[in-house]
Amino acid sequence: MEDLDSSPYAETAPQAGVAEGESAPAKRVFIKTFGCQMNVYDSERMGEALAAEGYVATENPADADLAILNTCHIREKAAEKVYSDLGRLRDIKRARAGEGKETRIAVTGCVAQAEGAEIMSRQPAVDLVIGPQSYHRLPELLARVRGGEGGLVETEFPDEDKFKALPSRRPAASVSAFLTVQEGCDKFCTFCVVPYTRGMEFSRPVAGLVDEAKRLVERGVRDITLLGQNVNGYHGEGVDGGSATLARLIHELAEIEGLWRIRYTTSHPRDMSDDLIAAHRDVDKLMPYLHLPFQAGSDRILAAMNRKHTVREYLDLIQRIRDARPDIALSTDIIVGFPGETDEEFEDTLAVVRDVKFAHAFSFKYSPRPGTPASTMDGQVPESAKRERLERLQDVIDQGHAAFNRASVGRTLPVVFEKPGRREGQLVGRSPYLQLVHADAGPDLIGRMVNVEIRTAGANSLSGVIGTSE
């Protein structure tokens, strides 16, 4: 999934004030979100659960009565980044204690799941460690900490459905929102920790997802991205009691009045079913953008990764998708320097990127994850070689991304404006292809879909002029 570590801290709690008649100040929570969109969703849901306990969001950890690091274990040196932040939070906790203020520190997410009690051992200032399957119990566990229980670690995979225990969605902070529909993965790619940190695949029932989507739309959301570690492997309970596919879920969501756009991520090539490909052709609300990781351009490396597809199967799949939706934009994930990868096999990866002409791609140097089969494989590639390959790959990706953006110049695209731009009198929104689009417009157009004639293309965004509202 897309790396969001450089994004601002997520404001995951609503601005709920102190109840009428109370004089005590509201409790404040600081939440920093690492990693993928699913973590952003999880942080929002934790904020909503804490709002019911009287917490409001703060962007300043020095003001926080509760500080939460919602962690990701996918990126390189993920745990080290967490411990670095924990050191800063420890110092804040000590300073606030000197002022007579109490501060609790919680670590949630995939690093919490993977490291468990080791986090408290390395950083005793932490009060609570919670895995991604148990964050619905956050208020209860905090109450136990306040009651004197120390060293609480909750990393089991509970039997109950955490989504049923979470409160209703709060008023939307944006016209776009994430909706987790599936968690976990059964693929066991040899480089990946997800089956160990998120567990086996679990899909939420269609009825509950439609209800949550309707509540989001009632609160102003117009663009919903369906999330899952293997989202196109979705197999939740359908409205008829049988098993529903992701395509069936998309058809149900498309019936919601006021929902304009549907997207989904992240997919696996093995689960790109015929009915899902057909949905890209038949469902107007399903955006022409698909993230479909291929990871490597060598069949031998793909087999070592346990990806369960070949290069030819991937390319044939891309052609079938483009036959169904010719204007679709494709993005992908690519790993360079997987154990045993030769220079020739890396060239094969470059050839796939040039052949497919991705609109966007996320590229990574392979880095071992403790407990995964690839971490102990022979043939670990030297860091210098991985770095050189990544630079070469990124150059090709950037060329493809720039070409895709340039092809938008002269087109008129429907843009859903989300927020003010960096300069006065400017708004920023997104095209159907997830491109950022800037245009001069007043704030009354935030939350509306407007035709924009694209005039220029930059490295990371487009600019245009307002056309006719839809």
Indicate if the pLDDT at residue 123 is higher than 50.
yes
The owner of tokens 């597809």 is 309
Estimate the share of the chain in helix, then strand, then coil, as percent rounded to the nearest 5: 35, 20, 40
User: What's the burial of 453, exposed, middle or buried (CB within 10 Å: 0-12/13-18/19+)?
Assistant: middle
* DSSP result, 5-16: TTSPPP--S---
In the DSSP assignment, the letter for residue 295 is B
Residues 245-279: tens digit of each pLDDT: 999 999 999 999 999 999 999 999 999 999 999 99
Selected residue with higher pLDDT from 168 and 125: 125
CB–CB of 274/315 below 8 Å? no
Whole-number pLDDT of residue 376: 94
- Residues 80-106 pLDDT 10s: 788 899 999 999 999 999 999 999 999
DSSP string, 20-49: TT--SPPEEEEEEE-SSHHHHHHHHHHHHH
User: What is the C-alpha separation between 126 and 87, in angstroms, rounded?
Assistant: 10
As a whole number of angstroms, the distance between CA 24 and CA 203 comes to 41
Q: What is the DSSP letter of 376?
A: G
What's the pLDDT at 133?
Answer: 76
Torsion of CA 179, 323, 300, 73, to 10 degrees: -10
Cα–Cα distance between 300 and 340 in angstroms, integer? 9
Q: What does the alpha-carbon distance between residue 381 and residue 388 come to, in Å, rounded to a whole number?
A: 11
Give the span between the Cα atoms of 256 and 226, in whole angstroms: 15
| Residue among 247, 186, 166, 173 at smallest CA distance from 216 | 173
Q: Which two tokens stand for residue 415?
A: 């843009």
pLDDT tens track for 64-75 = 999 999 988 766
User: In terms of pLDDT, which residue wins out, 345 or 74?
Assistant: 345
C-alpha distances in Å from residue 110, one per residue of 36, 103, 196, 234, 295: 11, 23, 9, 21, 22
The confidence band for 43, taking pLDDT boundaries of 50, 70 and 90, is confident
**Sign of the CA dihedral with 283 first, then 285, 288, and 290 last:** negative
Sign, CA torsion 418/288/247/4: negative
Strands (E), 299-448: 329-336, 360-365, 412-420, 426-430, 436-440
Peptide bond into 266 cis (omega under 30): yes
| Average pLDDT of the residues of the chain | 88
Q: What's the pLDDT at 135?
A: 78
Tokens for 318?
């891309």
pLDDT range class, residue 234, cuts 50, 70, 90? very high
Q: In the prediction, which pLDDT does 174 show? A: 80
Which spans in 106-183 are helix H?
Answer: 110-115, 117-122, 138-146, 162-165
Per-residue pLDDT at 335: 97
Strand segments (E) across 292-425: 329-336, 360-365, 412-420
